[in-house]
Amino acid sequence: MPTLELSNPAALPADWRDFVALTKPRVMSLVVFSGLCGLLVAPVKLPLVLGFTAVLCIALAAGACGALNQWYEVEVDAKMRRTAKRPLPAGRMERQSALQFGVGLGAFSVLLMGLATNWFAAILLAVSILFYVIVYTVWLKPRTAQNIVIGGAAGAFPPLIGWVAATGHLATLPLLLFAIIFLWTPPHFWALSLFVRSDYAAAGIPMLPVVAGAQSTRRQIFLYSLPMAAAAVAPWPLNLAGPVYGICASVLSFVFLILAGRVAVNRATEPSAMDAEKHLFAYSVFYLFALFAVLVADRYLPW
């Protein structure tokens, strides 16, 4: 049997684990969870297998977004410590493979969503993928410091899609869930970008701390946290959720505002002194998980 010459390392087929890494599984968990919550709080109950398929489609679409994002940003990822070990910048996968994988996964998720639930949910899923890839990754991210503000809409789609998969139409509650994630995204990402600022600056991405400075970013974090907290509590006075959700959302949002306030008054310039920003970033992830979990519990548990 003749042996193959492997002078080009790219000739080695990518490991399947690298394809999994391309889907950004850690980011996917929050997307899947919020989509599942949108599905569970809907007044129409889908058969288990269709509900599972809807959440699977949301997960696959998120994976497609991750793959296409990494395909497009390979040069940028190579310049940042946080992303340099990803499969593409590390040279473990050909760029073309990532593109084919991302497009295939995205198309498959939209088709399966349409066949299993309804085509309105499938269209929303397609819009969310295109919004993330074209509007956020290609257009906004390399051009404006407001990339996260508008691009945050892409991450806010899952609860909306989950609800529409179950009901076939939109309503006030899923739009509020969309608003919560949309308004949560800037404080969440700006807190992160404050303590990895040098990475973004090296890669030439105009994140707010790079363009407007740390103090302006800290002020914006606090300002965005205010409407976010209002949107989080809103389902209670609007009678879309019960008092248990209202009280929990108020407490969770109050803590968020306290942490955002600590960030606003912090004057640190070195990442090692940015404990307030790190605490807000870690809490923001817990906040969204907890808020959505309480909303579902409020719907199902006999308080």
Partner 1 sequence: MVSPEDELIRKRQRDRARLTALLLAAFVILLFFITIAKTGMNW
- Cα dist from 151 to 108, 156, 260, 286, whole Å: 23, 9, 21, 21
Restricting to residues 104-163, name those near partner 1 by CB under 8 A: 115-116
- Tell me: does residue 230 bind partner 1 (CB under 8 A): no
Member of 28, 39, 41, 53 binding partner 1 (CB under 8 A): 53
Contact 143, 206 (CB under 8 A): yes
Find the binding residues for partner 1 in span 159-218 (CB under 8 A). Answer: none
Stretch touching partner 1 by CB under 8 A, among 46-54, 59-67, 124-132, 260-268: 46-54
265 binds partner 1 (CB under 8 A): no
> Per CB under 8 A, does 75 bind partner 1?
no
Q: Minimum distance from CB of 111 to partner 1 (Å)?
A: 12
Nearer CB in complex with partner 1: 10/223: 10
Show the binding pattern over residues 4-43: x = contacts partner 1 (CB under 8 A), - = does not: x-x----xxxxxx---------------------------
Q: What angle do CA 297, 26, 137 make, to 5 degrees?
A: 110
CB-nearer residue toward partner 1: 119 or 286:
119
The count of residues interacting with partner 1 (CB under 8 A) is 18
Q: Per CB under 8 A, does 244 bind partner 1? A: no
**Based on CB atoms, which residue is closest to partner 1, 16 or 303?**
16
Q: Which residues bind partner 1 (CB under 8 A)?
A: 1, 3-4, 6, 11-16, 47-50, 53, 56, 115-116
